[in-house]
Each structure stands twice: as structure tokens, then as C-alpha cells.
């Protein structure tokens, strides 16, 4: 399983490279605004607890879940 820190870094680079779109409004995520909170199904953090990571869309304020954004990157890398 990917860690909170790893997911944060991957998503930060993807936003920098303009590779992600908002799940709701489909505009490019062109600002990196990451937030997280404790969640039992989240990513393991450095303190041993789990956290739900999401990126806030600067255009519509939708909270894009980490796993949906990583799926986007995975699809892009396979040419879909």
C-alpha cells in the first residue's frame, strides 16, 4: 500500500505537470491544495495512523479523493 507521503508527492508532481483533472468539473487541477483527515480506510501516515487525502479543486471546490486521482494517472500511463 502506498503511504500518505508517497501519494502526496505523486499528486503534487502531477498537478505541477498539469496531468490531473477535477472529478466534478473536469478542469485541470492547476493549484496544489492538499488536505487530509483521520480515516480508517485512508493511507498510512508517519505516525502509524491512517489519513484520507484529497485535493481541493481551485475552480469548483470539489474534494478529489486521492485514489480517484491516482486512477487517472494510471489510465493516462496506459494510454486511455
- Each of the 80 residues of the chain gets a pLDDT tens digit; together they read 899 999 999 999 999 999 999 999 999 999 999 999 999 999 999 999 999 999 999 999 999 999 999 999 999 887 76
Q: How far is CA 31 from CA 19, 28, 47, 69, in A?
A: 12, 9, 27, 14
Domain carrying residue 9: 4-77
Domain count, the chain: 1
- Spatial CB neighbours of 61, under 8 Å, sequence gap ≥ 6: none
What is the model's pTM? 0.93
Amino acid at each position: 500500500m502506498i503511504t500518505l507521503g508517497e501519494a502526496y508527492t505523486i499528486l503534487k508532481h502531477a498537478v505541477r505537470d498539469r496531468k490531473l483533472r477535477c472529478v466534478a468539473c473536469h478542469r485541470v487541477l492547476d493549484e496544489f491544495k492538499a488536505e487530509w483527515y483521520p480515516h480508517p480506510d485512508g493511507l498510512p501516515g508517519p505516525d502509524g495512523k491512517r489519513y484520507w487525502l484529497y485535493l481541493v479543486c481551485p475552480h469548483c471546490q470539489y474534494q478529489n479523493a486521492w485514489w480517484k486521482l491516482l486512477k487517472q494517472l494510471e489510465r493516462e500511463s496506459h494510454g486511455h
